[in-house]
Amino acid sequence: MAAATAMAYSLVRVRASWDTNPTPKPLRLPKATPKPPPRLPTPNSTAPAIPRTALLEREEKGEVGERYLGFERWWLPSAPKVKKPRSIYNAASLAYLGDCIYELYARRHFLFPPLSINEYNERVMKVVRCEAQDVLLKKLLDEDYLTEEERDILRWGKNIATSKSRTTKRAGVAVYNRASSLETLIGYLYLTNVERLEELMFRLGFSTGASSHHIADELRMNFRKRTSNFANSQQPALQ
């Protein structure tokens, strides 16, 4: 009798314990509202302000057309604002930048008419070689086109030390140094005066028209003249 009473009492306790601890209800997290898609700019939306330059001011006055010196306006990437590049960078850094800008002009020059990739590379390589850059620099110096400040940049960039043994063996140290000085000048003008850079590259023959062979032909003619002049100067010495 006592055992039956104890068992019944234990069952009652278990049931009471079960009833006083109900199962917790599942949490209901708020549903995340989807973000609206980004709004595309409309023709009437406000465009970001373009930094004012001398070229922009001439454009507002109606003095600049669709092209400026044969180049599409604003086609180069915006350069960082550096007032005195020589106080921050060495000549090798500016030549590194100028090499990229120079090749960009060369690739754009040969973009028209459409060609195969191999033909593009072949024509561009003829212009970006240090021998070609040396001839183009000589053209600027012979025409007395550069300012005294630009000539000072050339002298500064001419002293760049190099470890490119293949290039120096092929073209010579003097040719490589002169080519590096031209790249230094291009990098310097890109940071300080992009309009002057466009004038200089236009002077060298880089354009947007269908003149794919102009620069290469001129380089070949200059190489022949220099070779013939050197041969003529050596003839009396050999005799």
Which one of the listed residues 19, 99, 134, 152 is annotated catalytic? 99
- The Cα–Cα gap between 130 and 189 comes to 19
**Residue 155 zone, left/alpha/beta (φ > 0; ψ -120 to 50; rest):** alpha
- The Cα–Cα gap between 82 and 188 comes to 10
Alpha helices in 37-146 (DSSP H): 54-60, 91-109, 117-128, 130-142
99 is annotated as an active-site residue:
yes
- The Cα–Cα gap between 91 and 175 comes to 17
Say if strands 67-68 and 71-72 run parallel, antiparallel, or are unpaired. Answer: antiparallel
From the list 211, 238, 235, the residue with the least C-alpha distance to 70 is 211
Q: Which residues contact 192 (CB under 8 A, 6 or more apart)?
A: 82, 83, 85
Q: Which positions are catalytic?
A: 99
